[in-house]
Structure 1
Amino acid sequence: MPGHRSITEAEKLAAAKLGGIPIRREQMAAVANIYRAASAVRQHLENSVLRGSDLTWTAFVVLWVVWVWGESETRHVAEEAGISKGTLTGVVRTLESRGLLRRADHPSDGRLVLLSLTDEGEEFMRRVFPAFNEEEAFVTAGLSDAECRSLAEGSSARTGFSPRRRESGNTVVTPTTGPGPEPGAGRPGTTAGRGHVTAP
Protein backbone atom coordinates (compact mmCIF):
# COMPACT_ATOMS: atom_id res chain seq x y z
CA MET A 1 0.00 0.00 0.00
CA PRO A 2 1.34 3.51 -0.85
CA GLY A 3 0.61 4.81 2.65
CA HIS A 4 2.90 2.19 4.17
CA ARG A 5 5.96 2.94 2.08
CA SER A 6 8.87 4.83 3.63
CA ILE A 7 10.12 8.09 2.14
CA THR A 8 13.26 6.31 0.90
CA GLU A 9 11.21 3.59 -0.81
CA ALA A 10 9.00 6.20 -2.46
CA GLU A 11 12.03 8.10 -3.75
CA LYS A 12 13.56 4.91 -5.17
CA LEU A 13 10.30 4.00 -6.92
CA ALA A 14 10.00 7.49 -8.38
CA ALA A 15 13.58 7.36 -9.64
CA ALA A 16 12.95 3.96 -11.28
CA LYS A 17 9.75 5.20 -12.93
CA LEU A 18 11.35 8.38 -14.26
CA GLY A 19 14.29 6.47 -15.70
CA GLY A 20 16.34 8.70 -17.97
CA ILE A 21 13.99 11.68 -17.85
CA PRO A 22 16.15 14.74 -17.03
CA ILE A 23 14.84 16.08 -13.73
CA ARG A 24 16.29 17.77 -10.65
CA ARG A 25 16.00 14.90 -8.19
CA GLU A 26 17.25 16.73 -5.11
CA GLN A 27 14.77 19.55 -5.63
CA MET A 28 11.98 17.03 -6.24
CA ALA A 29 12.84 15.26 -2.98
CA ALA A 30 13.03 18.55 -1.06
CA VAL A 31 9.58 19.69 -2.17
CA ALA A 32 8.04 16.25 -1.62
CA ASN A 33 9.41 16.07 1.92
CA ILE A 34 8.28 19.63 2.72
CA TYR A 35 4.80 18.59 1.61
CA ARG A 36 4.90 15.40 3.71
CA ALA A 37 6.06 17.30 6.79
CA ALA A 38 3.43 20.02 6.36
CA SER A 39 0.69 17.41 5.90
CA ALA A 40 1.81 15.52 9.00
CA VAL A 41 1.83 18.67 11.15
CA ARG A 42 -1.54 19.79 9.80
CA GLN A 43 -3.11 16.40 10.52
CA HIS A 44 -1.70 16.38 14.05
CA LEU A 45 -3.02 19.87 14.81
CA GLU A 46 -6.44 19.07 13.35
CA ASN A 47 -6.71 15.91 15.44
CA SER A 48 -5.25 17.26 18.66
CA VAL A 49 -6.74 20.77 18.84
CA LEU A 50 -9.20 21.66 16.10
CA ARG A 51 -11.35 18.53 16.23
CA GLY A 52 -12.49 19.42 19.74
CA SER A 53 -13.64 22.81 18.44
CA ASP A 54 -15.24 21.27 15.34
CA LEU A 55 -13.13 23.49 13.07
CA THR A 56 -11.35 22.73 9.83
CA TRP A 57 -7.77 23.84 9.30
CA THR A 58 -8.94 26.40 6.72
CA ALA A 59 -11.55 27.88 9.08
CA PHE A 60 -8.93 28.23 11.82
CA VAL A 61 -6.49 29.96 9.46
CA VAL A 62 -9.22 32.43 8.41
CA LEU A 63 -9.93 33.19 12.07
CA TRP A 64 -6.20 33.59 12.71
CA VAL A 65 -5.77 36.06 9.83
CA VAL A 66 -8.71 38.22 10.91
CA TRP A 67 -7.66 38.00 14.57
CA VAL A 68 -4.15 39.24 13.79
CA TRP A 69 -5.01 41.84 11.15
CA GLY A 70 -8.31 43.03 12.57
CA GLU A 71 -11.17 44.04 10.29
CA SER A 72 -10.13 43.21 6.71
CA GLU A 73 -11.54 43.02 3.21
CA THR A 74 -12.52 39.53 2.10
CA ARG A 75 -10.08 39.62 -0.81
CA HIS A 76 -7.19 40.29 1.56
CA VAL A 77 -8.28 37.57 3.97
CA ALA A 78 -8.47 35.05 1.12
CA GLU A 79 -4.98 36.04 -0.06
CA GLU A 80 -3.44 35.81 3.40
CA ALA A 81 -5.14 32.47 4.11
CA GLY A 82 -3.99 31.09 0.75
CA ILE A 83 -7.50 30.17 -0.43
CA SER A 84 -9.84 31.21 -3.23
CA LYS A 85 -12.61 33.76 -2.74
CA GLY A 86 -15.13 31.01 -3.41
CA THR A 87 -13.67 28.83 -0.65
CA LEU A 88 -13.62 31.81 1.70
CA THR A 89 -17.33 32.44 1.08
CA GLY A 90 -18.25 28.99 2.38
CA VAL A 91 -15.90 29.26 5.35
CA VAL A 92 -17.30 32.67 6.29
CA ARG A 93 -20.87 31.35 6.22
CA THR A 94 -19.89 28.56 8.61
CA LEU A 95 -18.04 30.88 11.00
CA GLU A 96 -20.88 33.39 10.88
CA SER A 97 -23.41 30.71 11.77
CA ARG A 98 -21.29 29.84 14.81
CA GLY A 99 -21.14 33.45 15.92
CA LEU A 100 -17.36 33.73 15.51
CA LEU A 101 -17.16 36.06 12.51
CA ARG A 102 -19.21 38.96 11.15
CA ARG A 103 -19.53 40.54 7.73
CA ALA A 104 -20.07 44.25 7.10
CA ASP A 105 -20.36 46.42 4.02
CA HIS A 106 -17.38 48.59 3.18
CA PRO A 107 -18.18 52.20 4.22
CA SER A 108 -17.08 53.73 0.90
CA ASP A 109 -17.33 50.90 -1.64
CA GLY A 110 -20.48 48.83 -1.70
CA ARG A 111 -18.78 46.15 -3.79
CA LEU A 112 -16.45 45.23 -0.94
CA VAL A 113 -17.13 43.24 2.22
CA LEU A 114 -15.26 43.52 5.51
CA LEU A 115 -14.69 40.68 7.96
CA SER A 116 -14.08 40.97 11.70
CA LEU A 117 -14.26 38.68 14.70
CA THR A 118 -17.20 38.90 17.05
CA ASP A 119 -16.59 39.15 20.78
CA GLU A 120 -17.17 35.39 20.89
CA GLY A 121 -14.62 34.93 18.10
CA GLU A 122 -12.05 36.99 19.99
CA GLU A 123 -12.62 34.94 23.13
CA PHE A 124 -12.41 31.72 21.11
CA MET A 125 -9.01 32.61 19.65
CA ARG A 126 -7.62 33.71 23.03
CA ARG A 127 -8.74 30.39 24.46
CA VAL A 128 -7.81 28.01 21.62
CA PHE A 129 -4.62 29.49 20.24
CA PRO A 130 -2.50 28.77 23.35
CA ALA A 131 -3.50 25.10 23.03
CA PHE A 132 -2.67 25.24 19.33
CA ASN A 133 0.72 26.72 20.13
CA GLU A 134 1.37 23.98 22.69
CA GLU A 135 1.01 21.44 19.88
CA GLU A 136 3.29 23.53 17.67
CA ALA A 137 5.85 23.27 20.46
CA PHE A 138 5.26 19.51 20.67
CA VAL A 139 5.91 18.86 16.96
CA THR A 140 9.10 20.95 17.09
CA ALA A 141 10.30 19.58 20.43
CA GLY A 142 13.46 18.16 18.85
CA LEU A 143 14.61 21.62 17.74
CA SER A 144 16.16 24.42 19.77
CA ASP A 145 14.74 27.96 19.61
CA ALA A 146 17.61 28.93 17.29
CA GLU A 147 16.92 25.95 15.03
CA CYS A 148 13.22 26.86 14.91
CA ARG A 149 14.10 30.41 13.88
CA SER A 150 16.51 29.14 11.25
CA LEU A 151 13.91 26.72 9.89
CA ALA A 152 11.24 29.44 9.76
CA GLU A 153 13.52 31.94 8.06
CA GLY A 154 14.90 29.38 5.65
CA SER A 155 11.46 28.10 4.70
CA SER A 156 10.23 31.65 4.19
CA ALA A 157 13.14 32.62 1.96
CA ARG A 158 13.38 29.39 -0.04
CA THR A 159 9.88 28.02 -0.46
CA GLY A 160 7.60 31.06 -0.36
CA PHE A 161 6.11 32.18 -3.65
CA SER A 162 3.04 33.88 -5.03
CA PRO A 163 1.39 33.29 -8.45
CA ARG A 164 2.94 36.14 -10.43
CA ARG A 165 5.83 37.05 -12.72
CA ARG A 166 8.20 34.21 -13.42
CA GLU A 167 6.65 32.07 -16.14
CA SER A 168 7.27 28.34 -16.18
CA GLY A 169 5.21 26.67 -18.87
CA ASN A 170 1.60 27.55 -18.09
CA THR A 171 2.37 28.44 -14.48
CA VAL A 172 3.44 31.87 -13.32
CA VAL A 173 5.21 32.12 -9.97
CA THR A 174 7.05 34.82 -8.08
CA PRO A 175 9.56 34.14 -5.30
CA THR A 176 8.81 36.15 -2.16
CA THR A 177 10.33 36.56 1.26
CA GLY A 178 7.08 35.93 3.13
CA PRO A 179 5.80 32.50 4.16
CA GLY A 180 2.76 30.99 2.53
CA PRO A 181 -0.52 30.42 4.22
CA GLU A 182 -2.01 25.85 4.91
CA PRO A 183 0.40 12.28 10.08
CA GLY A 184 2.78 11.75 12.47
CA ALA A 185 2.63 9.74 15.66
CA GLY A 186 0.01 11.01 18.03
CA ARG A 187 0.89 12.86 21.20
CA PRO A 188 -0.13 10.99 24.35
CA GLY A 189 -3.66 11.93 25.28
CA THR A 190 -4.70 12.98 21.77
CA THR A 191 -6.47 11.20 18.95
CA ALA A 192 -3.70 11.74 16.41
CA GLY A 193 -1.80 8.44 15.39
CA ARG A 194 0.21 32.26 8.35
CA GLY A 195 0.65 35.20 3.33
CA HIS A 196 2.40 38.12 4.97
CA VAL A 197 1.09 37.04 8.33
CA THR A 198 2.84 33.86 9.37
CA ALA A 199 0.10 31.26 9.26
CA PRO A 200 -0.34 29.25 12.44
Structure 2
Amino acid sequence: MSNDDRLFVFHLLQQASGTLFRAADRVMRDREGITTAHQVVLFSLYRRDDVPASVLAAQLNMGKSRLTGLVDTLVDKGMVRRARSKEDGRSQLLSATDHGRAVIDRTKAGVNEMNEDLLAPFSEEERRVISAFLKHVRDQGDEIVTRRSAPPKA
Protein backbone atom coordinates (compact mmCIF):
# COMPACT_ATOMS: atom_id res chain seq x y z
CA MET A 1 0.00 0.00 0.00
CA SER A 2 1.40 3.37 -0.94
CA ASN A 3 1.76 6.19 1.55
CA ASP A 4 -0.99 8.07 -0.33
CA ASP A 5 -3.42 5.18 0.20
CA ARG A 6 -2.57 5.02 3.91
CA LEU A 7 -3.14 8.73 4.34
CA PHE A 8 -6.60 8.57 2.80
CA VAL A 9 -8.09 5.38 4.31
CA PHE A 10 -10.54 7.48 6.32
CA HIS A 11 -11.73 9.29 3.20
CA LEU A 12 -11.75 6.15 1.06
CA LEU A 13 -14.02 4.49 3.63
CA GLN A 14 -16.38 7.45 3.50
CA GLN A 15 -16.39 7.49 -0.29
CA ALA A 16 -16.88 3.72 -0.56
CA SER A 17 -19.69 3.77 1.98
CA GLY A 18 -21.37 6.70 0.26
CA THR A 19 -21.17 5.08 -3.17
CA LEU A 20 -22.52 1.73 -1.99
CA PHE A 21 -25.34 3.10 0.13
CA ARG A 22 -26.52 5.69 -2.39
CA ALA A 23 -26.86 2.94 -5.00
CA ALA A 24 -28.37 0.44 -2.55
CA ASP A 25 -30.84 3.04 -1.23
CA ARG A 26 -31.92 3.88 -4.78
CA VAL A 27 -32.55 0.19 -5.56
CA MET A 28 -34.36 -0.43 -2.25
CA ARG A 29 -36.56 2.66 -2.70
CA ASP A 30 -37.47 1.61 -6.24
CA ARG A 31 -38.18 -2.02 -5.34
CA GLU A 32 -39.53 -1.90 -1.79
CA GLY A 33 -40.19 1.76 -0.91
CA ILE A 34 -37.62 1.76 1.91
CA THR A 35 -33.91 2.51 2.38
CA THR A 36 -31.07 0.25 3.45
CA ALA A 37 -31.34 1.67 6.97
CA HIS A 38 -34.94 0.42 7.11
CA GLN A 39 -33.76 -2.91 5.73
CA VAL A 40 -31.19 -3.24 8.53
CA VAL A 41 -33.95 -2.74 11.10
CA LEU A 42 -36.09 -5.38 9.37
CA PHE A 43 -33.14 -7.81 9.18
CA SER A 44 -32.67 -7.47 12.93
CA LEU A 45 -36.37 -7.97 13.69
CA TYR A 46 -36.64 -10.86 11.23
CA ARG A 47 -34.79 -13.12 13.66
CA ARG A 48 -36.62 -12.18 16.85
CA ASP A 49 -39.99 -10.75 17.90
CA ASP A 50 -40.71 -8.34 20.74
CA VAL A 51 -37.33 -6.64 20.77
CA PRO A 52 -37.20 -3.61 23.08
CA ALA A 53 -36.51 -0.48 21.04
CA SER A 54 -33.61 0.44 23.33
CA VAL A 55 -32.00 -2.98 22.79
CA LEU A 56 -32.41 -2.72 19.03
CA ALA A 57 -30.90 0.78 18.98
CA ALA A 58 -27.87 -0.51 20.90
CA GLN A 59 -27.50 -3.56 18.64
CA LEU A 60 -27.58 -1.36 15.56
CA ASN A 61 -25.29 1.26 17.11
CA MET A 62 -27.97 3.82 16.38
CA GLY A 63 -29.40 6.67 18.39
CA LYS A 64 -32.91 6.14 19.74
CA SER A 65 -34.29 9.12 17.80
CA ARG A 66 -32.83 7.78 14.53
CA LEU A 67 -34.34 4.36 15.23
CA THR A 68 -37.70 5.93 16.09
CA GLY A 69 -37.83 7.69 12.72
CA LEU A 70 -37.01 4.48 10.86
CA VAL A 71 -39.52 2.46 12.86
CA ASP A 72 -42.24 5.10 12.33
CA THR A 73 -41.84 4.66 8.57
CA LEU A 74 -41.83 0.86 8.82
CA VAL A 75 -44.97 0.92 11.00
CA ASP A 76 -46.69 3.24 8.50
CA LYS A 77 -45.80 0.80 5.71
CA GLY A 78 -47.11 -2.18 7.70
CA MET A 79 -43.70 -3.83 7.99
CA VAL A 80 -43.20 -3.46 11.76
CA ARG A 81 -45.57 -3.41 14.70
CA ARG A 82 -45.09 -1.82 18.10
CA ALA A 83 -46.44 -3.07 21.39
CA ARG A 84 -46.06 -1.78 24.93
CA SER A 85 -44.07 -4.00 27.24
CA LYS A 86 -46.23 -5.64 29.90
CA GLU A 87 -43.34 -5.40 32.36
CA ASP A 88 -42.48 -1.76 31.65
CA GLY A 89 -45.17 0.39 30.05
CA ARG A 90 -42.55 2.92 28.95
CA SER A 91 -40.76 0.33 26.82
CA GLN A 92 -41.82 -0.40 23.26
CA LEU A 93 -41.42 -3.88 21.84
CA LEU A 94 -40.83 -4.16 18.10
CA SER A 95 -41.62 -7.05 15.78
CA ALA A 96 -41.56 -7.57 12.03
CA THR A 97 -44.96 -8.19 10.47
CA ASP A 98 -45.55 -10.82 7.80
CA HIS A 99 -45.17 -8.04 5.22
CA GLY A 100 -41.82 -7.00 6.74
CA ARG A 101 -40.61 -10.61 6.74
CA ALA A 102 -41.63 -10.94 3.09
CA VAL A 103 -39.52 -7.87 2.23
CA ILE A 104 -36.50 -9.51 3.86
CA ASP A 105 -37.21 -12.80 2.11
CA ARG A 106 -37.23 -10.91 -1.22
CA THR A 107 -34.11 -8.83 -0.56
CA LYS A 108 -31.68 -11.06 1.34
CA ALA A 109 -30.52 -12.94 -1.77
CA GLY A 110 -29.59 -9.60 -3.35
CA VAL A 111 -27.58 -8.63 -0.28
CA ASN A 112 -25.71 -11.95 -0.40
CA GLU A 113 -25.01 -11.48 -4.12
CA MET A 114 -23.78 -7.93 -3.51
CA ASN A 115 -21.42 -9.18 -0.80
CA GLU A 116 -20.07 -11.81 -3.18
CA ASP A 117 -19.59 -9.24 -5.95
CA LEU A 118 -17.76 -6.91 -3.57
CA LEU A 119 -15.40 -9.68 -2.44
CA ALA A 120 -15.00 -11.47 -5.80
CA PRO A 121 -11.56 -10.02 -6.65
CA PHE A 122 -10.08 -11.04 -3.30
CA SER A 123 -8.57 -14.30 -2.05
CA GLU A 124 -9.86 -15.99 1.10
CA GLU A 125 -6.93 -14.58 3.07
CA GLU A 126 -7.62 -11.08 1.77
CA ARG A 127 -11.29 -11.50 2.68
CA ARG A 128 -10.29 -12.38 6.24
CA VAL A 129 -8.13 -9.25 6.41
CA ILE A 130 -10.93 -7.07 5.01
CA SER A 131 -13.36 -8.52 7.55
CA ALA A 132 -10.90 -7.99 10.41
CA PHE A 133 -10.28 -4.42 9.29
CA LEU A 134 -13.98 -3.55 9.02
CA LYS A 135 -14.69 -5.11 12.44
CA HIS A 136 -11.79 -3.09 13.88
CA VAL A 137 -13.28 0.11 12.42
CA ARG A 138 -16.74 -0.82 13.75
CA ASP A 139 -15.45 -1.65 17.23
CA GLN A 140 -12.70 0.96 17.65
CA GLY A 141 -13.63 3.76 15.26
CA ASP A 142 -15.27 5.98 17.85
CA GLU A 143 -12.31 5.70 20.21
CA ILE A 144 -9.76 6.26 17.42
CA VAL A 145 -11.49 9.38 16.11
CA THR A 146 -12.15 10.77 19.58
CA ARG A 147 -8.57 10.18 20.74
CA ARG A 148 -7.09 11.75 17.60
CA SER A 149 -9.50 14.69 17.64
CA ALA A 150 -9.03 15.66 21.28
CA PRO A 151 -7.49 19.09 21.79
CA PRO A 152 -3.89 19.00 22.97
CA LYS A 153 -3.46 19.06 26.73
CA ALA A 154 -2.10 22.32 28.09
Give the TM-score range, shorter chain.
0.7 to 0.9
More strand by share: 1
* Structure 1 residues 69 and 145: alpha-carbon distance in aligned structure 2, compared to 1, 3 A threshold: farther
Q: Does residue 131 of structure 2 align to residue 152 of structure 1?
A: yes
Tell me the TM-score normalised to structure 2 length.
Answer: 0.78
Match of 2:36 in 1: 57
Deviation digits for residues 141-187 of structure 1 (CA, Å, limit 9, x no counterpart) = 222344323311222124523767x96338xxxxxxxxxxxxxxxxx
Match of 1:127 among 106, 110, 113: 106
Tell me the TM-score normalised to structure 1 length.
Answer: 0.62
Aligned residues: 145
Structure 1 outlier segments of 4+, above 6 Å: none
Which blocks of at least 5 consecutive residues in structure 1 are unaligned?
Answer: 1-10, 12-24, 171-200
* Residue identity (%): 23
More helix by share: 2
- RMSD of the TM alignment (CA)? 2.7
Q: Write the distance in 2 (CA, Å) between the matches of 1:104 and 1:58.
A: 21
Q: Does residue 86 of structure 2 align to residue 107 of structure 1?
A: yes
Q: Say if 1:41 and 1:139, in contact at 8 Å, map to a contact too.
A: no
Q: Write the distance in 2 (CA, Å) between the matches of 1:113 and 1:133.
A: 31
User: Where do residues 16-165 of structure 1 align in structure 2 (5 Å cutoff)?
Assistant: 26=6, 28-161=7-140
Q: Write the distance in 2 (CA, Å) between the matches of 1:115 and 1:93.
A: 11
Which blocks of at least 5 consecutive residues in structure 2 are unaligned?
Answer: none
